[in-house]
Structure 1
């Protein structure tokens, strides 16, 4: 199969696309001399030349460097203003530096950052989380990765079962346990996982999303502590639950004595209480990272009263010493102040009302421009989160979603958008709107995508 014959490139003129890519790379070079200089400087002392190697995944010739960000915009060090539909890959889902969070952090900055002691903010945050998500007992972490790691430890301790179940192609941060995939129907440890020394297959089982029969069969052994899942898969491209999937899956999970953990870090885009609350999924535990502090590093995880009692019992009966759960910065004063402001003043019904309506207009605009260029692509929306995928209908499993990923095509499109003043997430084609995103911003994105597709599609 030639590059042009890949299914994801149906309707494209790939030689023209390569010419376009060369032109866009040259254009980026010319327009970003300060970013180029900083990238060269950083290569001397930063691994891969960036603070985190993912920062090289944008498809740019060198790392784009930001000067500041506010609301729905990022201003780079060369003075270009970019309309931001990436929003820190959900971390800034409610805009960069939302005013209530910025003011709360500024106040707390003169009152202490971390003491390993509780504050009034913690009590307020716990009340807000319980009211919003319907789970009464909460704990904190520095990232969703840590929150997932900690809840898995609590669940294993509470149930006496060591295994967890995940869905193929999932992503729950960098907790090692979830890096297991299905390849030709066979579970394998993900080859990209660096430095892993113990066999993940001993304690992690994996099935396809939307496969109820496989879920039932895999849980039948009675040795799985929990199913750890996003209610909608988001990090391999969007994979929506089939109608009735979660209703039946919950029955299966309960029947086998397994617990259900919903990772709402991305699907909090659905509404103030997340996707599970909106769609009647009664989880035993919930994890939320990234946006809960308005962009300040923090995360939360909640439990049912029954699970919390079992977790407390496990801790009391364990030998004294470190539980392997938590760090000295967990629940620090700065993060608690940020979360209080975000939950009470930023993540509001009014903010969601604006975001959801605008995301609908974005999805409609994407569908229109894709259809105008005759491309067999689909558009999927989960609340404020929208994505286009290189297939006619949304995939139903992680394996299907993986087959239509095309990193080269994604980066070509993303670079073209960047050069036209628009930024979307560098991983697949995800876009978020925030309270500060406007109709004009959406129109700019649609217009930029139209320009890019005009340059790379086949002409009659």
Structure 2
């Protein structure tokens, strides 16, 4: 692989040094972690243990593109809550809207709608092109409900996803193409209710022939996909691929769901608007709430009409999946403020320009060290990859992972005030991210490679 030439003994020695430095610099975070024995895994969610340095830093405060931990260290935050804070931490319009809702108006959870919800639906429709919207608390829940709706209208049992996709903890998505080319459960799949190969089909991203072969079985209700893979590393669509997906789904009577939760970084209407896509359903979460929990799904007019015309479907009582807190007044106030005042077209233009500066700088550093690595950009999101050319499928992307190298780079960056998404080498820009922030990352990144390869 493209990292085989790295001196592993040197890498291990430098990583040990950086972890020791981290331990010296973060005694209060270490103590907080040690005291958290009543939390499963010592963290609020077990994925917070994905820390290159051995334990997470603990939050004191965050604002804009900056995060400060309880040991007093400030970071330029390119992680941004793994997209949830793409609007920046605690953007002023969202803080004002939530404060007014909770303080002046009251009513955090009421089970009656607010006018904000209708305004949010209208804005999502304007941006993404689908006319009918409903809400959840996470994109995972939005995906689950979309799957149920499409199974209901098609009478088909299976969902098709891309190998090494990410759609939250949706059971149907935890399927990959194995080394023998056959579908299998993704490694580490926890407590699957049944064999995922019975509920799902899988095709590689950028593989239209494989998609056509799987759709030909005639049992797929919907293709659930990101327009570009993100959580296995950014894998961009090849020319004609997304148009081919749309044509094949229509040919085989399957609906198409675009999960825009991460690809929202492509622009104010996500990849759907940026690339003129025509899905039947869009799911999204995280960033649209400015850090407040929210998920949403949008339906085409045809699909919405088919569903509301089905008197046999319980869409009101126990079948009204979404949860008591879905569409709550606080989430709707936050989402309205985020869309109307923070993640605007102008903001995306600036964020994408800064991301371009980030990408160009990393390419120059990689070239300066003659590394066979690559850089992918998706609007306001950038990632450096340990492969050149860049991976074209999820399986190829998974194979380029180098956990030891990633952990060293992440710990080196943390120790010098830079946060990246801990799952991969992804950097996200928010409206407050500056070119000086980017320059600081490049300075530290180049220094890390200089010590490693020098």
TM-score (norm 2): 0.97
Structure 1 segment 71-82 matched on structure 2, within 5 A = 71-82=64-75
Q: 1:136 aligns with which of 131, 145, 149?
A: 131
Of stretches 153-162 and 414-423 in structure 1, the one that deviates more from structure 2 is: 153-162
Q: 2:21 aligns with which of 16, 24, 27?
A: 27
1:387-426: per-residue Cα shift (whole Å, max 9, x none)? 0010111111111111101112111110000001100001
Structure 1 residue 374 and structure 2 residue 367: aligned? no
The match for 2:9 is: 15
Q: 1:65 aligns with which of 42, 51, 58?
A: 58
1:165 Cα offset (Å): 0.5
1:318 Cα offset (Å): 2.9
Counterpart-to-counterpart distance in 2, 1:114 and 1:71 = 28
1:268 Cα offset (Å): 0.6
Of stretches 376-385 and 198-207 in structure 1, the one that deviates more from structure 2 is: 198-207
Q: 1:51 aligns with which of 44, 51, 75?
A: 44
The match for 1:101 is: 94
Structure 1 segment 114-133 matched on structure 2, within 5 A = 114-133=109-128
Structure 1 residue 388 and structure 2 residue 387: aligned? no
Counterpart-to-counterpart distance in 1, 2:219 and 2:273 = 28
Partner secondary structure for residue 309 of structure 2: helix
Structure 1 residue 84 and structure 2 residue 84: aligned? no
The match for 1:38 is: 32
Partner secondary structure for residue 135 of structure 1: coil
Q: Quick check: 2:167–2:173 contact (8 Å CA) kept in 1?
A: yes
Counterpart-to-counterpart distance in 2, 1:122 and 1:24 = 47
Q: 1:237 aligns with which of 233, 237, 256?
A: 233
1:324-361: per-residue Cα shift (whole Å, max 9, x none)? 61210110111010011011111101111110110000
Of stretches 359-368 and 236-245 in structure 1, the one that deviates more from structure 2 is: 236-245
Partner secondary structure for residue 245 of structure 2: helix
Counterpart-to-counterpart distance in 1, 2:219 and 2:87 = 40
Q: Quick check: 2:94–2:337 contact (8 Å CA) kept in 1?
A: yes
Q: 2:326 aligns with which of 327, 330, 346?
A: 330
Runs of 4+ that moved beyond 6 A: none
Q: 1:255 aligns with which of 246, 251, 256?
A: 251
1:13 Cα offset (Å): 2.3
TM-score (norm 1): 0.96
Counterpart-to-counterpart distance in 2, 1:27 and 1:440 = 25
Structure 1 segment 31-430 matched on structure 2, within 5 A = 31-42=25-36, 44-110=37-103, 111-184=106-179, 185-314=181-310, 316-318=311-313, 322-323=318-319, 325-430=321-426
Partner secondary structure for residue 317 of structure 1: coil
Q: Quick check: 2:15–2:407 contact (8 Å CA) kept in 1?
A: no
1:168 Cα offset (Å): 0.5
1:191 Cα offset (Å): 3.3
> Given the superposition, is the C-alpha separation of residues 142 and 85 from structure 1 closer, same or farther in structure 2, using an over 3 Å criterion?
same
Task: Extract unaligned runs of 5+ from structure 1.
Answer: 1-6
Counterpart-to-counterpart distance in 2, 1:455 and 1:11 = 15
Counterpart-to-counterpart distance in 2, 1:221 and 1:177 = 17
1:11 Cα offset (Å): 4.0
Counterpart-to-counterpart distance in 2, 1:48 and 1:415 = 21
RMSD: 1.2
Partner secondary structure for residue 237 of structure 2: coil
Q: Quick check: 1:17–1:455 contact (8 Å CA) kept in 2?
A: no
Counterpart-to-counterpart distance in 2, 1:384 and 1:436 = 12
1:237-279: per-residue Cα shift (whole Å, max 9, x none)? 1111111111122111101111100000111101111112111
Counterpart-to-counterpart distance in 1, 2:396 and 2:351 = 29
Counterpart-to-counterpart distance in 2, 1:249 and 1:150 = 22
Q: Quick check: 1:187–1:205 contact (8 Å CA) kept in 2?
A: yes
Counterpart-to-counterpart distance in 1, 2:243 and 2:399 = 28
Partner secondary structure for residue 68 of structure 2: strand
Counterpart-to-counterpart distance in 2, 1:12 and 1:440 = 30
Q: Quick check: 1:11–1:375 contact (8 Å CA) kept in 2?
A: no
